[in-house]
A and B are shown apart, each in its own frame.
Chain A
Amino acid sequence: MGLVESSKLPKPLTSLLNTARKYSLWAYQWGLACCAIEMGAAFASPRYDVMRLGVIPLPASPRQADVVVISGTVTDKMVPAIKRLYEQMPDPKYVISMGSCTNCGGPYWDSYSVTKGVDQVVPVDVYIPGCPPRPEALLEGIVLLQQRIGREDMAERWRGDPLVVQ
């Protein structure tokens, strides 16, 4: 379509695509440490049910995932695996960094083996603070991500332009 080469897609098309995308996220859990338990509580427990937001947990592999929730301390030894995981995900992909360890190193900011923040390795869309953040905080983070997706312009992605945070 000539719509992609031109500057913008028509608004109704963009909003339809974005609404469809944001309410059908398949979330891959990269649960490393304590935050993984809160992520499990958000995803698998009946109290903080995440499926009501349209997010389904537990894809079979990263190749089928839309968003990855990285929760728990990232060590230098683990970084190649994270890089590989991120590259295996198909576009459009989003990264939620959950917990202070993935945001900035957290309580282990001075350790010799901890990566001070996963954004040194992969680009992060939403940072969720907390140690560990409550499951409600993770749900809030997912809602924020959905709002961001709602404001995106698909043509920018298809053209390969750098994404600007809205």
Chain B
Amino acid sequence: MSDATGTTDAAEAPEAEEAPTDDARQAVLDQITAALGDAVLDSHIAVGRGLWVRVERDAWLEAAGHVRNGLGYHFFDYLSAIDWMPSPWGRYEYSAVDDGIRQFDPNAPVETGVAGGDTRFQVMCRLADIRRRQPHHNVVIKADLPDDDLRVASLVSLYPGANWHERECWEMFGITFDGHPGLRHLYLPGEFEGHPLRKDFPLLARLVKPWPGIVDVEPMPGEPAAEGDGEETEESS
């Protein structure tokens, strides 16, 4: 079965007004909201695909604890973070289509994604239950971190696998995890300065020699010549 949505999908024809619902994931979401109450700030269900829940930063450990012990999600998938600030250099290219370097506005509001978000950094983790073998038993928990206090509770006491993921998150974003047995470099050499996955960490090789965004591409066999200049086209075809 390649599309496992809620049980009511077969009954609801795809009409314009009624969107398909995902009852199974809705049930999981209801359980989480019932247990955490006000700590759940926002949520999002992508029908047949995933469940996102955004919690308060102080309820991070409690949320993971409830998901583990209350829902039985013992499988630790990953933990990471998203830096929502757009890169000041765009894609480091000079082209008519993507001119990030000249277009960056540092005062523009930061748009965040699924399940909302108020701050630049969001930490997220995905937990699942794989023993029940149904595709809807998983949840992505997100939490906003204030810019001046990048710390959040560590999940190592609940999921031992979080150890390495939190070390990588610290190293790449600079987020401190309270209660982690030892935050030290995982990937980078000890003398490395900076947090690479932050958007304001520049890729120096690209600043020195930007990738030419304007690429001459041959037309497909049978097609006329490419439409106009200054258009960034695919590498393939």
Instruction: State the A residues within 8 Å of B (CB).
Output: 76-77, 105, 109-113, 116
A113 to B, closest residue via Cβ: B188
Q: How far is the CA of A112 from the CA of B205 in the complex (A)?
A: 8
Q: Which residues of B contact A110 (CB under 8 A)?
A: 92, 203, 205-206
Instruction: State the B residues within 8 Å of A (CB).
Output: 92, 187-189, 192, 196, 201, 203-206
A77–B196 CB distance below 8 A: no
For B189, B196, B204, the residue with the greatest tally of chain A CB atoms inside 10 Å of its CB is B189
Residue among B187, B192, B203, B205 making CB contact with A116, cutoff 8 Å: B205
Q: Which residues of A contact B206 (CB under 8 A)?
A: 110
Q: How far is the CA of A111 from the CA of B204 in the complex (A)?
A: 8
Q: How far is the CA of A166 from the CA of B188 in the complex (A)?
A: 40
Q: Which residues of B contact A116 (CB under 8 A)?
A: 205
Nearest 3 pairs between A and B by C-beta? A110-B205, A77-B189, A110-B206
Q: Which residues of B contact A76 (CB under 8 A)?
A: 189
A113–B205 CB distance below 8 A: no
Q: How far is the CA of A112 from the CA of B92 in the complex (A)?
A: 15
Q: How far is the CA of A126 from the CA of B33 in the complex (A)?
A: 63
Q: How far is the CA of A76 from the CA of B189 in the complex (A)?
A: 8
Q: Which residues of B contact A112 (CB under 8 A)?
A: 196, 201, 203-204
B193 to A: closest C-beta gap in Å? 11
B181 to A: closest C-beta gap in Å? 23
B203–A77 CB distance below 8 A: no
Q: Which residues of A contact B192 (CB under 8 A)?
A: 113
Q: How far is the CA of A110 from the CA of B187 in the complex (A)?
A: 17
For A105, A109, A110, the residue with the greatest tally of chain B CB atoms inside 10 Å of its CB is A110
Q: How far is the CA of A111 from the CA of B187 in the complex (A)?
A: 13
B108 to A: closest C-beta gap in Å? 25
B187 to A: closest C-beta gap in Å? 7
Q: How far is the CA of A81 from the CA of B187 in the complex (A)?
A: 16
A112 to B, closest residue via Cβ: B196
A-B CB contact pairs (8 Å), 20 listed: A76-B189, A77-B188, A77-B189, A105-B205, A109-B205, A110-B92, A110-B203, A110-B205, A110-B206, A111-B203, A111-B205, A112-B196, A112-B201, A112-B203, A112-B204, A113-B187, A113-B188, A113-B192, A113-B196, A116-B205
